[in-house]
């Protein structure tokens, strides 16, 4: 088996631009569900939102760093785990929260706030936690990542489409109502297709390192879901809100992770494989969790 830290994936500049566009469409479709009044309600009762954001941007990076210290994976894989943990909630968390009978409005609002917060917190978390682990610190120094450039990327890929979607929903509610569901399904279909095609283009590499990364991603995702649930219980949230916080913490925006990996880390193999596995696995685990919860509800 070759050195995963030195492998560069087959991913062109055109592919990166396409992924940027897909992610922007996904965020726009999510924002069509948001109203400014949603934010007002959360400001009046902010505990569930604050709990979710702390779980996302504080607890998960801490758990990830402890996991890296204990398991000591290769540098590029460790940095991939740290980067995924530093990303905001994923674009399918809202759908999965709805399936699980959780507070979908809270989930959508957490995605929105986390996306805006990611402008500062994603590059800060990557730089801080990555610098505390020797092997990943060497990668960061070699890359010389610019937090400002990362922030600009997040603004254009996530924040602007989010604001545009909220504006369309406010100014043209009938149009937003007509395109909301089709846009969400189409954008998710395009995103998943893109991930599958990216996997196919690097299939030999993924097979070579599948066992090395898959178990780490399973453990990492379990920590994220478990950590979110524990944080929500400690905060005394209702079951309705707890499900949203759990899922939001366990579903990460791996698409943004891939953009940052190919835009700033040159497509470093271990990092990209972690983000790609996350992109597949968190959907499987999240949907399975939602199915299990809904079956339990039906049995009561």
Evaluate if residue 156 carries a pLDDT over 50. yes
CATH class of 11-293: mainly alpha
More confident residue, 156 or 74: 74
CA dist 1 and 115 (Å) reads 37
- pLDDT score, position 4: 52
CA dist 124 and 220 (Å) reads 20
More confident residue, 187 or 121: 121
Q: Which helix (H) or strand (E) holds 62?
A: helix 60-71
Quick: pLDDT tens for 262-299.
Answer: 777 776 777 888 887 887 788 888 888 888 887 877 66
More confident residue, 249 or 178: 249
Q: What single string gives the DSSP state of each residue in 208-269?
A: HHHHHHHHHHHHHHHHHHHHHHHHHHHTT--HHHHHHHHHHHH-B-HHHHHHHHHHHSTTBH
| From 193-207, 219-233, 251-265, 279-293, the region with the lowest mean pLDDT | 193-207
- pLDDT score, position 34: 73
More confident residue, 222 or 199: 222
Residues in the chain: 300
Q: Where are the domains of the chain?
A: 11-293
- pLDDT score, position 2: 46
Instruction: Please state, for a pLDDT cut of 70, what percent of the chain lies above it.
Output: 83
- pLDDT score, position 1: 41
């Amino acid at each position: 088996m070759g050195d995963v830290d030195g492998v560069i994936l087959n991913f062109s500049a055109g592919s990166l631009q396409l992924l940027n566009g897909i992610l922007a469409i996904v965020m726009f479709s999510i924002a069509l569900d948001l109203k400014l009044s949603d934010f007002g309600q959360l400001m009046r009762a902010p505990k569930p939102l604050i709990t979710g954001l702390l779980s996302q941007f504080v607890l998960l990076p801490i758990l990830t760093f402890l996991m890296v210290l204990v398991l000591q994976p290769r540098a590029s894989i460790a940095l991939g785990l740290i980067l995924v943990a530093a990303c905001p909630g994923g674009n399918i968390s809202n759908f999965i929260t709805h399936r699980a009978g959780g507070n979908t409005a809270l989930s959508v609002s957490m995605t929105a706030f986390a996306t805006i917060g990611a402008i500062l917190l994603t590059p800060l978390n990557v730089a801080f936690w990555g610098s505390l682990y020797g092997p990943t610190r060497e990668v960061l120094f070699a890359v010389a990542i610019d937090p400002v450039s990362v922030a600009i990327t997040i603004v254009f890929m996530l924040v602007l489409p989010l604001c545009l979607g909220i504006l369309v929903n406010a100014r043209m509610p009938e149009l937003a109502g007509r395109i909301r569901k089709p846009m969400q399904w189409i954008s998710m279909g395009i995103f998943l297709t893109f991930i599958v095609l990216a996997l196919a283009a690097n299939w030999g590499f993924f097979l070579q390192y599948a066992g090395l990364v898959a178990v780490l991603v399973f453990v990492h995702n379990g920590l994220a879901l478990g950590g979110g649930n524990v944080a929500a219980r400690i905060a005394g949230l209702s079951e309705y809100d707890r499900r949203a916080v759990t899922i939001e913490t366990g579903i990460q925006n791996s698409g943004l992770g891939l953009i940052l990996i190919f835009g700033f880390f040159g497509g470093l193999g271990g990092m990209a494989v972690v983000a790609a596995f996350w992109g597949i696995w968190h959907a499987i685990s999240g949907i399975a969790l939602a199915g299990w919860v809904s079956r339990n509800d039906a049995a009561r």
